[in-house]
Amino acid sequence: MLKEIFILCLTIIHEEFVSCVPASYQTARDAILNAERQQRLGSQIQLNSAELALDKFLLQNKQTTIENARVGVSDFPPSINFFQSKKWIDDSPVFKIMEKMPKGCALHVHDSSITSLDWVISNVTYRDNCYICFNETTGTPSLHFFNKPPANKGCEWKLISTARSLFGNDKAFDLQLFRNLSIIVDNPDDTYVTVNDVWKKFNKYFGLINGVFDYAPVFKDYFHQALVEFYQDNVQCVEVRATLPQVYELDGTVHDQDWVVQAYQNISKEFAAQNPNFFGTKIIYSGIRFNPVATILNNVKDAIRLMKEYPDFVVGFDLVGQEGPGKTLLYYIDDLLYPSQQQPPVYLPYFFHGGETDWKDTRVDENLIDAILLNTSRVGHGFALNKHPYIKQVMSERGIAVEVNPISNQVLKLVADIRNHPAALLMTGKFPVVISSDDPAVWNAKPLSHDFYMAFMALAGEDEGIRILKQLAMNSITYSAMTSQEKKRALASWNEQWVKFINDWNTYNSNSHHVSRSDHTVKIIG
Ligand SMILES: *[C@@H]1O[C@H](CO)[C@@H](O)[C@H](O)[C@H]1NC(C)=O
Ligand SMILES: *[C@@H]1O[C@H](CO)[C@@H](O)[C@H](O)[C@H]1NC(C)=O
Ligand SMILES: *[C@@H]1O[C@H](CO)[C@@H](O)[C@H](O)[C@H]1NC(C)=O
Ligand SMILES: *[C@@H]1O[C@H](CO)[C@@H](O)[C@H](O)[C@H]1NC(C)=O
Ligand SMILES: *[C@@H]1O[C@H](CO)[C@@H](O)[C@H](O)[C@H]1NC(C)=O
Ligand SMILES: [Zn+2]
């Protein structure tokens, strides 16, 4: 009897010694913990011993980071703006594993914000015929390719090579250009107070990049380079929200939509052929949510036509642009109902951005309702979902996944601290969640690894290890727009890559310093 009390008095909860916990209380406590653990996303996954070894390593590192921050010894990267935390994340053992891990598909990214700015600057702006002009009033640059630049009052075109040599320091010029393209600043909290402040700069990015992105040779190489970078980041497929812009040649030719889709398709096929572990690319044609009703109707009709002409490649339709001030789905309701009102009805899958807002029950927030009524296949962001329990339930029942983009939501100022991101709540249940990166190039994030880091460190709990990562990767295939045949093949291929990833880690770490280092640091906690 005495002995039993003694053992209970040494009960350890979260590394802390708690005085005497009565046995019945402890049992009731464990029951609650277990009930919650069983509900969590990924909790059903069974791990083998090789996976458990990596699980242990990840958990030790995560716990060390969290516990040190909890007691104030250090800071917690996901609670700090990504512009400031990136350097620090990049050095962490957890991030290095996120990079190596096969992550499946990136299901929410945009056409002209997926290739690193380093490549854009070092490659695109060093090509022949690349011109720059600086607005005489504001100093703001624009970029474009020309054979012979037209006169442009108030913003005189000159060869960027000339501007560079006039500037006198190529490196400093390119750094300025990087700063003008990217939304990264040293003090984001002061520079961008509201969502609208940062979107103003974000929109400037698109204005600047599109001048060169729309140039045919760049357009093709940009997309190819995106696939290279995503694949290097261990992403096996990409679904791109694409606006299919008017792509130009130096001689003034402007290509039609078919050319643009064919360029995408040719590059995707070629890339997949060269990289057998890559599953492929899909295009989600996207209209702009500031355009007139008539324009969006034409976009919808184009989407229907393109889906027919490029089956299993063009897979649906969305509306893009800042949701807050933009037009609502309801505003375009006649356009969006057009396919289902044809005789017979035409099936156009939707992939709507919805609820990318902090404003509860506003017209923006209500986009979630229209997205569901329009049978959306997935919801982009769904940041406002927790304020709509009914919609959450419908999505859960119908398997409509939410595409969570943690870093985008942080840098575009919906949430400062990723621990407070609403997806943390979604992941406590078996909600269909996928992780994506939205516009990683604009804030110099890796194609998907940084967002996976955030999901792992801050959306999942301190004691959630490799199960959640495996579940998120598999979800990205399950909820992709691939056909069921394609999904089967993709899942098999992903599984092979996963096994290799686990085995490689175990081989490399079988008696290396990594494991012992984390064993050591975890002791700091007590
Ligand atoms: C840019 O990249 C393309 C495609 O990889 C390559 O062919 C070309 O030589 C590069 N150009 C420059 C200026 O780096
Ligand atoms: C960057 O933008 C600033 C201010 O808009 C401008 O003064 C500068 O010339 C630009 N530099 C480059 C290389 O784009
Ligand atoms: C220069 O910037 C001003 C202010 O944004 C704008 O009104 C003007 O049209 C720009 N000029 C050119 C030539 O783009
Ligand atoms: C795509 O490939 C086809 C077949 O090789 C070719 O005829 C066509 O010109 C290519 N289109 C583009 C835009 O690259
Ligand atoms: C959505 O799906 C339901 C059930 O299949 C169908 O009755 C309805 O017409 C669809 N709505 C639209 C807008 O496609
Ligand atoms: Zn988006």
Confidence at residue 363, expressed as pLDDT on a 0 to 100 scale:
87
Helix %, strand %, coil % of the chain (to 5): 55, 10, 35
Please give the distance, rounded to the nearest whole angstrom, from the Cα atom of residue 153 to the centre of ligand 3. Answer: 10
Ligand nearest to the CA of 321: 6
pLDDT value of residue 364: 87
Q: From ligand 4's centre to the CA of 409, what distance in Å?
A: 37
Residue-wise pLDDT tens digits, 218-252: 999 999 999 999 999 999 999 999 999 999 999 99
CA dist 390 and 385 (Å) reads 9
β-bridge pairing 105-110 and 237-242: parallel
Q: What is the model's pLDDT at position 518? A: 42
Residue 259, ligand 4, Cβ within 6 A: yes
Percentage above 70 pLDDT, the chain: 94
Per-residue pLDDT tens for 443-479? 999 999 999 999 999 999 999 999 999 999 999 999 9
DSSP states of 266-322: HHHHHHHHH-TT--EEEEEEEEETTS-HHHHHHHHHHHHHHHHHSTTTEEEEEEES-
- Spatial strand order of the sheet with 141-145 comes to 141-145, 130-134, 158-159
- Per-residue pLDDT, averaged over 395-407, amounts to 98
Q: Is the pLDDT of residue 519 over 50?
A: no
Angle separating helix axes 170-181 and 195-213, nearest 10 degrees: 120
For 318-373, how does the pLDDT look when each residue is reduced to its tens digit (9 = 90+)? 999 998 889 999 999 999 999 999 999 999 999 999 999 999 988 889 999 999 99
- pLDDT, residue 12, reads 62
Distance 66 CA to ligand 6 centre (A): 30
Residue type, 290: F
The pLDDT score that the predictor gives to residue 120 is 98
Burial 208-240 (b: 16+ CB within 10 A, else e): bbbbbbbbbebbbbbbbbbbbbbbebbbbbbbb
| Amino acid letter for position 258 | D
Query: Both tokens of residue 68?
Result: 């040190």
Segment 88-140, tens digit of pLDDT: 999 999 999 999 999 999 999 999 999 999 999 999 999 999 999 999 999 99
Beta-strand pair 158-159/130-134: antiparallel
The DSSP secondary structure of 433-476, one letter per residue, reads EEE--BSGGGGT--SSHHHHHHIIIIIS-TT--HHHHHHHHHHH
The pairing of strands 401-404 and 105-110 is: unpaired
Counting ligand 4 atoms within 8 A of each CB, the residue from 219, 262, 267 with the most, and so the one to mutate, is 262
**From CA 401, how far away is CA 432, in angstroms rounded?**
5
Ligand 3 probe mutation, 135, 200, 203, most atoms within 8 A of CB: 135
> What rounded mean pLDDT belongs to the chain?
94
Confidence (pLDDT) at 15: 61
Strand partners for 134: 141
What's the pLDDT band for 501 if we cut at 50, 70, 90?
A: very high
Cα–ligand 3 centroid distance for 200 (angstroms): 15
CA of 58 to the centre of ligand 5 (A): 44
Q: If you measure from the C-alpha of residue 127 to the centroid of ligand 1, how many angstroms do you get, rounded to a whole number?
A: 8
Q: Is the CB of 127 under 6 A from ligand 1?
A: yes
Q: Which residues are catalytic?
A: 356, 381
- Atom 4 (ligand 1) nearest CA: 221
DSSP 384: T
Measured distance CA(407)–CA(438) in Å, rounded: 9
Closest residue by Cα to atom 2, ligand 1, is 123
List residues near ligand 5 (CB under 6 A): 337, 340, 374-375
**122 CB-contact burial (10 Å; exposed 0-12 / middle 13-18 / buried 19+):** exposed
Q: Say yes or no to pLDDT of 517 above 70.
A: no
- The helix or strand, by DSSP H or E, that contains position 403, with its residue range, turns out to be strand 401-404
Structure tokens at 90: 């990049």
Q: Which helix (H) or strand (E) holds 32?
A: helix 23-39
Ligand nearest to the CA of 135: 3
Of 137, 173, 180, 201, best ligand 2 pocket probe by most atoms within 8 Å of the beta carbon: 180
For ligand 1, is residue 126 a contact (CB within 6 Å)? yes
CB of 141 sitting under 6 A from ligand 2: yes
- Residue whose Cα lies nearest atom 6 of ligand 2: it is 139
pLDDT at position 526 is: 23
Residue 123 Cα distances to 48, 161, 193, 244, angstroms: 45, 13, 34, 22
Q: For atom 14 of ligand 2, which residue has the closest CA? A: 177
What residues are neighbours of ligand 6 (ion), with CB under 5 Å?
Answer: 438
Mean pLDDT of 160-170: 98
| Three-state DSSP class for residue 492 | helix
